[in-house]
Chains A and B, each alone.
Chain A
């Protein structure tokens, strides 16, 4: 085997490298004049690189917005890569939708010598998106109810901006889906979307998870770790269960939001990041601020833009829409030929309150499709707790109440799932009932938390959090 010799790369043929890239790439000087371009760029613009050397890139790209102006106006002080979306008129007189990625180029002595502009044609991508019955459905968010329509109408606005967004809503309402959909519709779509559950890790691990660490920062830190903020560079970081973020980390997060830079654990070197932050919670942050468990300044910083996802019981006929959607989905994925629900089943399912919201509905349908041997799902194919007597008008969790999420009394709200084995005395608090539900589910599943979470219609982290809260572990 030949010796490892990275110095061989010092004489790298730059144009050859650029030609290997899948997008049009042009190198420009500090005045925006073309220095070099790859073959795809030549194909897109119709100009040979040799012919346009020294020409302003705006004349050759013919872009809207004016790419040269955008580059020269950007300081690149806090941003490593400038991402722009727009259109160009290409060599065939066609308007092509494109995304530009601009990164400054420095010489070996650190002097800025120009910029690299990559041009990605996203016309086909956008057309494909449009074909898929609109943005929302493409990203798995369904809903025709006025409350959901409000959210869906608001989505393009949320996607266009870089402002911090707080998504609230009960457990299972689709906060993660919404965050991801917004990311995919934003100019950051080609960069990573990273989700971190703030409630799933102890404080020190969470700090390392978010901000990274250097080797030796603490016992067991055997190598450098970049952290999720750095991994999401250019993209979106979604911090779910933000209400569970420890106070010490709240301070650090606030600093990052203000300064766009931070020190990884154990490091004395600051790291700059360009990340859009979206946070999600099912807790009442305003109440937590009053209780002193959440920093007020951070609350206001996170709550610049706000989207509240309604509970399923507030979404009217969306329940039917979702039931039909998931039946088709699971029927296809499980290779079954299920046509739908019997009338009686549909009546029961539309009466049910779904305290676990869409996630619970999805799990119920998945269960039913698995169990049903025929073409129609009957009540016998539903999980038994659906048929159980009702006890309370409370939602799945009191902590799940968010300030905008007041109940709407439409008569269908009063039916949280209670395992038929449980028999609650009059006057039980919801916490007691919920604790009982968790115990019953754990007993039924032989202590298997994943199965218990499915049965309860919750995510695993929700169950884990509640187990912790009720000291059931």
Chain B
């Protein structure tokens, strides 16, 4: 499975349309495989980001707030979108990979993540 997470510093970016960085990770059997790819986008654009997601053959998107139109578009393209996620990218990726990440999740870790 190929997962894309919108990124801001070390956290899931608060908004899909304002994200300027994404992380693409491939997983196999609930475990990340290979080297994660960090892509800097030329600028914030929900449409461009959707194109990238299609082009990369992503099957799961993890993001913060996303507009209905883009959510519906990606869903229509048979891409699963887990949105409104708040928390560190590492924790979000771990949960997404093992299938336990839910829309609207607030991820707090025991160390107390800086972003929270």
Instruction: Identify the A interface with B (CB < 8 A).
Output: 33, 46-47, 51-52, 54-56, 58-62, 64, 88-95
| Assembly CA distance A54 to B83 (angstroms) | 20
Contacts A55-B86, A55-B116; A93 near B65 (Cβ below 8 A): yes
Query: Which residue of chain A has the shortest Cβ distance to B87 in the bound complex?
Result: A59
Instruction: Give chain B interface residues in 98-116, CB to chain A under 8 Å.
Output: 104, 106, 115-116
| Assembly CA distance A99 to B34 (angstroms) | 45
| Assembly CA distance A61 to B14 (angstroms) | 8
Whether the pair A93, B83 counts as a contact (CB closer than 8 A) is yes
Chain A interface: which of B24-32, B53-61, B66-74? B66-74
CB distance from A43 to the nearest CB of B (A): 14
Contacts A59-B115, A60-B86, A62-B64; A89 near B15 (Cβ below 8 A): yes
CB distance from B82 to the nearest CB of A (A): 13
| Assembly CA distance A100 to B59 (angstroms) | 36
| Assembly CA distance A334 to B102 (angstroms) | 62
Contacts A56-B115, A62-B15; A95 near B106 (Cβ below 8 A): no
Q: Which residues of A contact B64 (CB under 8 A)?
A: 59, 62
Interface membership of B1, Cβ < 8 A: no
| Assembly CA distance A384 to B71 (angstroms) | 68
Question: Which of A51, A59, A60, A64 is the one whose CB lies under 8 Å from B18?
Answer: A64
Whether the pair B84, A46 counts as a contact (CB closer than 8 A) is yes
Interface membership of B11, Cβ < 8 A: yes
Q: Which residues of B contact A46 (CB under 8 A)?
A: 84, 104
Whether the pair B68, A94 counts as a contact (CB closer than 8 A) is yes
Query: Which residue of chain A has the shortest Cβ distance to B66 in the bound complex?
Result: A93
Residue among A33, A55, A91 with max Cβ neighbours from chain B (10 Å):
A55
Query: Which residue of chain A has the shortest Cβ distance to B104 in the bound complex?
Result: A46
Q: Which residues of B contact A56 (CB under 8 A)?
A: 115-116
Whether the pair A95, B67 counts as a contact (CB closer than 8 A) is yes
Question: Which of A52, A88, A91, A94 is the one whose CB lies under 8 Å from B106?
Answer: A52
- What are 23 A-B interface contacts by the 8 Å CB criterion? A33-B116, A46-B104, A47-B104, A51-B106, A55-B106, A55-B115, A55-B116, A56-B115, A59-B11, A59-B14, A59-B64, A62-B15, A62-B65, A64-B18, A88-B65, A89-B15, A89-B16, A89-B65, A91-B84, A93-B66, A93-B67, A93-B68, A94-B67
| Assembly CA distance A59 to B9 (angstroms) | 13
| Assembly CA distance A52 to B87 (angstroms) | 11
| Assembly CA distance A47 to B14 (angstroms) | 14
Q: Beta-carbon contacts of B11-42 to A below 8 Å, as 1s and 0s?
A: 10011111000000000000000000000000
| Assembly CA distance A54 to B17 (angstroms) | 25
Q: Which residues of B contact A89 (CB under 8 A)?
A: 15-17, 65-67
Q: Which residues of A contact B115 (CB under 8 A)?
A: 55-56, 59
Query: Which residue of chain B has the shortest Cβ distance to A34 in the bound complex?
Result: B116
Q: Which residues of B contact A59 (CB under 8 A)?
A: 11, 14, 64, 86, 115
Residue among A56, A59, A60 with max Cβ neighbours from chain B (10 Å):
A59
Whether the pair B14, A62 counts as a contact (CB closer than 8 A) is yes
| Assembly CA distance A46 to B84 (angstroms) | 10
| Assembly CA distance A95 to B97 (angstroms) | 29
Q: Which residues of A contact B86 (CB under 8 A)?
A: 52, 55, 59-60
Whether the pair B71, A47 counts as a contact (CB closer than 8 A) is no
Whether the pair A54, B116 counts as a contact (CB closer than 8 A) is yes
Give 16 A-B pairs besides A52-B106, A54-B116 with Cβ atoms closer than 8 angstroms.
Answer: A47-B104, A55-B106, A55-B115, A55-B116, A59-B14, A59-B115, A60-B86, A61-B14, A62-B14, A62-B64, A62-B65, A64-B15, A89-B67, A93-B66, A93-B67, A93-B68
| Assembly CA distance A92 to B14 (angstroms) | 15
CB distance from B45 to the nearest CB of A (A): 13
Whether the pair A93, B106 counts as a contact (CB closer than 8 A) is no
- Those 4 A-B pairs whose CB atoms lie nearest each other, nearest first: A89-B65, A62-B65, A93-B68, A59-B86
CB distance from A47 to the nearest CB of B (A): 7
Q: Which residues of B contact A33 (CB under 8 A)?
A: 116
Q: Which residues of A contact B14 (CB under 8 A)?
A: 58-59, 61-62
| Assembly CA distance A90 to B106 (angstroms) | 16
Residue among B14, B15, B66 with max Cβ neighbours from chain A (10 Å):
B14
Query: Which residue of chain B has the shortest Cβ distance to A56 in the bound complex?
Result: B115
